[in-house]
Chain A
């Protein structure tokens, strides 16, 4: 998905030493970074922040069903009487776990496959890339849907399912990077010096190929959160009583038209704001690491 965004512009490998420093000078980036920081803190501290930690984990409180937002339940309660805010806080844990889990595993797989294909070329490249292409041939979401359907719904399986459809993007990207890096004089110098292939790849190529991948990975965190929400919305993700925003939207869906908007409404806002923050960060990081922007 957004992988293509920088895939199209995939270039440049100058050291990204000043990235963080430059990020701090960008207002939009700063706002986005603060939002993400806020979500992470809130997710980690969820049990401490809310007095309804048990309800956040899923324990029903049937007498208080479908209460509108009030001074006790700031965002109201759901159809099982659980505090919506507490559910949101615990949902942040699920969302961030899935996002970081999918992206980090995908990057590792992508780096291994992509670097091998790009460095060795010839039939190794041919075979690995044809396999990658087959995974990429599925429209986004769809492969994740059938894998999730096969494995059965759970948070862990959601991570596996999305990863299966996600790694090929990184493999492609890394391969393109490696293809151009392996012609660089410093790589040829290392080869001419007799440095073994695994060291050439590991020490000289991959460290210099990663900048655009990190940019991509940052932007992808937002996309993964959306996909995960979609999966749990159709019942392929986190199962009740687990806390998950997509699931909350699904659970709250039937009450929306009846006027009880707060369950689906607040969960939707939670997803959108976090995805927006990740996408913005991805945009900003992409911009400041783009060597063309320096001129």
Chain B
């Protein structure tokens, strides 16, 4: 079977599995979903009515099948709290999260890869040790705490960046793409663009902290392995300049794991979104999820998790295909 087809099939299977797991987990809820939906002051008869309306009294298998059916029609269900279709909210908020996650991923790769290469090239020297300490610190700080600290110092004390939100209240422009970096450029006003960047700065930096540490460490360790290979020794013996050895001969071998990190980095950004967005009041999927958690709005929690996971699976699929292109040993026939 061609690699592409096989990889697509496994992705479909995985998504199906993810749906199943979320379905099962959602049914683990010890409290009665019908009672939750009906609200705290509902009488037993009303709760019973809701149960029938939502088909919560049907056998589990039947519920599962109709859940799959709804999903296939793009129906993510209705929020307990707002009684609005979840899909609309998700579509509304997703670009904000994606913009944040993509920029954080980009930032951590652009800084992390050269740092990792540099640390590996000077293994066990002082600059390596300090880079490693820095990287370990990056993966050890709780992201929400880093968010609070940056608010305290950069926003509250120094006033460099706005405290929270995606835009100042008095700025608005058309949002054809939902990515404000793009939209503000399209609006043609440099001040809009500047406002967008100022609001993005802190959340992106905070979100990039963990993946940055991760990238640096992974690139360092895979570069160290590669640099010990005989073919690198042979190149050095032949007098190939060290820069060429590092960036043109070695890095390409270390990049296969780097692609894995790219996926991971993105995953981290997306899944730490609910912590970061909550602190910065960022109107994305993450803060949507956090407020749903606080209101025990289960349909939103499962649907939100599902959407994020599916995006993650698709991103991983794309990365694997890129990987197959870079590394000739992976068959892409």
A: which residues have CB within 8 A of B? 1-2, 4-5, 8-9, 28, 130-131, 133-135, 137-143, 145-147, 149-152, 222-223, 226, 229-230, 233-236, 246, 249, 253, 256-257, 261, 264, 267-268, 271-272, 275-276, 279-280, 283, 292
Contacts and interface: CB of A to CB of B under 8 A. Distances in A.
Interface string B297-317: 010011001001100110010
Given A131-B17, A135-B21, A149-B298, A236 B142 contact: no
Interface residues of B, number: 66
A230 B293 contact: no
A276 B26 CA distance: 34
A280 B217 CA distance: 12
Please give me the 3 A-B residue pairs with the lowest Cβ-Cβ distance, nearest first.
Answer: A134-B17, A268-B145, A139-B271
B289 interface: yes
A271 B149 CA distance: 14
B1 interface: no
B277 to A, nearest CB: 11
Contact of B26 (A9, A145, A150, A235): A150
Nearest to A271: B142
Contact of B14 (A28, A133, A261): A133
A146 B221 contact: no
B148 A264 contact: yes
Interface stretch (B133-141, B190-198, B199-207): B133-141
B312 A149 contact: no
B156 interface: yes
Contacts of A246: 142
B254 to A, nearest CB: 10
Nearest to A148: B293
Contacts of A222: 139-140
Contacts of B272: 141, 230
A234 B136 contact: no
Contacts of B63: none
B296 interface: yes
Main secondary structure of the interface of B (DSSP, over half): helix
B152 A257 contact: yes
Nearest to A141: B271
Contacts of B10: 133
Interface stretch (B76-84, B179-187, B262-270): B262-270
Given A4-B218, A131-B17, A142-B271, A249 B260 contact: no
A190 to B, nearest CB: 31
A145 B293 contact: yes
Contacts of B143: 230
Contacts of A146: 22, 25-26, 301-302, 305
A134 B10 CA distance: 10
A234 B293 contact: yes
B301 A4 contact: no
A292 B225 contact: yes
A206 B30 CA distance: 37
Contacts of B275: 230, 233-234
Given A1-B268, A142-B308, A257-B151, 16 more contacts: A28-B129, A137-B15, A138-B305, A138-B312, A141-B271, A145-B301, A147-B25, A147-B28, A150-B25, A230-B143, A230-B272, A230-B275, A253-B148, A257-B152, A268-B141, A268-B149
B94 interface: no
A150 B28 contact: yes
